[in-house]
Chains A and B, each alone.
Chain A
C-alpha cells in the first residue's frame, strides 16, 4: 500500500512524514514523533488517555488516522506549558490540587481540561464533570481533578481559588 505524505504542526513545530494510511495518530505521535505524553489506555475510544487537541477539538488519537490529521495543528501535553517553561494554569491546578495519583490519565485530562476552559472559561462543577466524561481515571475518584480544573479556571479568570465546602 502506498504511503501518504502528511504535514502537521505539532506543538508549534512543523512535522513532515510518510505514513501508512492505517497508522493511528496515537502511534504516529508516540513512535514517529517521539511524543510519548499521550498514552494508550483502552485502545477502544473509551478512556481518553490518548486525548490530544486537533484543530481546536479534543480527540481520542487512538480513533483517528494520522492521514486524517494532514494539515492539522496538534497540541499534546508536551506543548501545554507556558512559553517561558512555567506550568500552564491547568497543569498548575493538577499539581496544587493533587489532581493525579498514578498519572496515566493525566495528559489526556490536561488536554481535555485545557480545551474545556477555552470554550467555557467559568464552568460549573456539573459542566466540568460533563466536559471530562470522555476521560476515565481509576485512582482519584475525580474529586481532585474537578478541583484542579476549578483552580485553573479561577487562575485564568484572575480570581482567588476557593474550594467549595464539602
Chain B
C-alpha cells in the first residue's frame, strides 16, 4: 500500500515546526513516530499534503526532573521510556504501560507524545496520564500553554490541541513514593489494543486509602477519568465492598462500541474487572 503524495519537511526547532504548521494550514500534519499516522496514510484514511517530521528537533527528546515534576519530551519513544532509570525510580507505571503497547519494533519508533496527542481512544498512555494528573505542554503561533490530560480529550481524534499547535512535553507530578500503582490491560493478543484497561494510583495511610485516581482506556470515544471510582475508595480499607463500589462506578461510565474486541456489554463489564484488578495490585504495592 502506497500513501498519497505529500511534501516532506524536517524542521530543526519547535519554532520552525510551528511556523510551518501555521503557514501550510490544515493539510499539514506533524509526524512523530508515524506508527498511527503512516498506517492511516497507507489506507488513505489520512492524506495530508505536507508532513512535518519532528524527529530531528532535539528539544523534544529526553526525560528530566524539574522539582516535583517529571517532564517527558514528546518525541521520547516508548522504548526509551522502558529503558529510563529515572522513570523506573519515579513513575514505573509508565514503564508497565509502555511494555503493553504493541511490540518491540513499534516501541522503538512510537512516541509518548504521539500516543498522547493523537486522541486515538485505543492508545494506552492517555488514561494513564489522566490517572497521574499529567499536563500537556502545547506550543503554537501564540506561544506555549498547558492543558490538563483530564481536559484534553473531546472525542475520537478530537482534542483540545489546535491544528497549529504541537505537543512538546508531558509534565507528570511526582506521585508520593509510598503510592501504589497499576495498569491492567485486557487484550486478545500481544500487540492488540485494549478490550478494556484501567490505570490506578492510590495512597494508603494507617490502613485506609488516603487518595485514589482511576482512569479507563478504550471503553468510550476517549479515555475516561473515573472520578467516582476513585472517590469510592478514599477512606476505605480497600475491602471487598469498596472494590465492588469502585468497579461498579468504573463500569457505569464506560460506553464502548461493539467491535472486534467484543460486544459493548462485555467490554463495559471488563472495564469494571480491569479497575478491580488494578486497584488490587496497586493496593499490594502501596506502603502505609
Residues of A within 8 A of B (CB): 1-2, 4, 20-22, 24, 27, 43-46, 48, 51, 57-60, 63-65, 67-68, 112, 116, 130-134
Contacts and interface: CB of A to CB of B under 8 A. Distances in A.
A22 B34 contact: no
A72 to B, nearest CB: 11
The 4 A-B residue pairs with the shortest CB-CB distance in the complex, in nearest-first order: A134-B103, A21-B8, A57-B108, A134-B105
Given A57-B79, A58-B108, A68-B53, A48 B6 contact: no
Given A1-B5, A20-B5, A43-B1, A112 B38 contact: no
A152 B6 CA distance: 43
A58 B55 contact: no
A64 B105 CA distance: 11
B259 interface: no
Contacts of B3: 22, 24
A64 B103 contact: no
Given A24-B2, A65-B34, A44 B51 contact: no
Given A63-B39, A112-B104, 11 more contacts: A22-B6, A24-B3, A45-B105, A48-B103, A51-B105, A63-B109, A64-B109, A65-B38, A67-B8, A68-B55, A133-B104
Contacts, number: 81
Interface in B1-46: 1-8, 10, 31, 34-35, 38-39, 41-42
A22 B191 contact: no
B148 interface: no
B109 A57 contact: yes
Interface residues of B, number: 29
B191 A134 contact: yes
Given A67-B8, A68-B55, A133 B39 contact: no
Contacts of B105: 45, 48, 51, 58-60, 112, 134
Contacts of B53: 67-68
A27 B106 CA distance: 19
28 contacts: A21-B5, A21-B6, A21-B8, A22-B4, A24-B2, A24-B3, A27-B2, A44-B1, A45-B35, A45-B38, A46-B191, A48-B103, A57-B79, A57-B109, A58-B104, A58-B108, A59-B105, A59-B109, A63-B38, A63-B109, A64-B109, A65-B8, A65-B34, A67-B8, A116-B104, A131-B104, A133-B104, A134-B103
Most buried by B among A46, A63, A112: A63
A116 to B, nearest CB: 8
Contacts of A58: 104-105, 108
Nearest to A115: B104
Contacts of B190: 133
Most buried by B among A4, A22, A51, A64: A22
A58 B190 CA distance: 17
A20 B8 CA distance: 9
B102 interface: yes
Contacts of A68: 31, 34, 53, 55
Given A59-B105, A64-B34, A44 B8 contact: no
Interface string B96-129: 0000001111101100000000000000000000
